[in-house]
Amino acid sequence: MSSAASAGQDSRQQQLLSCDRKLQGAKAKLQDSQRVALETEESGFQVLSDLARQREGIERISGHVQTVDDNISGARRLLVQMSRRATIKKVALWFMVLLLLITIVVVVYFLCFKPQ
């Protein structure tokens, strides 16, 4: 019986060693999984930080674009006003030229063709 008990005890000891090895393997896998999870979390925080910086840059650029758009709109209005003024001045100049020509024609008529 002692050999049967010894064989049973050896079998039990082998089972315990096998379970211990499996437990150590599972523990190593768990630690590796924790390490991967921490690395992933750190990577996620870095991505979020980069995205926040990019968002700030986009918002700043959007503000600059709005300012440029306002400046362009103002410049366009100013150019339209200048064009209108130039057209009005051209019309006024041609009117004066026409009036001057009529005056010259009238003066020449009175000087040359009107009997005295």
In a domain, 105, yes or no: no
Q: Which residue has the higher pLDDT, 3 or 30?
A: 30
* pTM of this structure: 0.53
**Is 98 inside any structural domain?**
no
What's the total number of domains in the chain?
1
- Domain assignment present for 115: no
pLDDT at 14: 87
Name residue 2's amino acid: S
Domain that holds residue 28: 1-84
Which region among 3-7, 25-29, 77-81, 109-113 has the lowest average model confidence (pLDDT)?
3-7
**pLDDT at res. 17:** 85
pLDDT in tens, 7-59: 778 888 888 888 889 999 999 999 999 999 999 999 999 999 999 999 999 99
Question: Is 80 within a domain?
Answer: yes
Residue type, 77: R
33 belongs to a structural domain: yes
| CB-based burial, 83-110: b 16+ in 10 Å, e otherwise | eeeeeeeeeeeeeeeeeeeeeeeeeeee
Strand, coil or helix: what is 49? helix
Q: How far is CA 102 from the centre of its chain?
A: 64
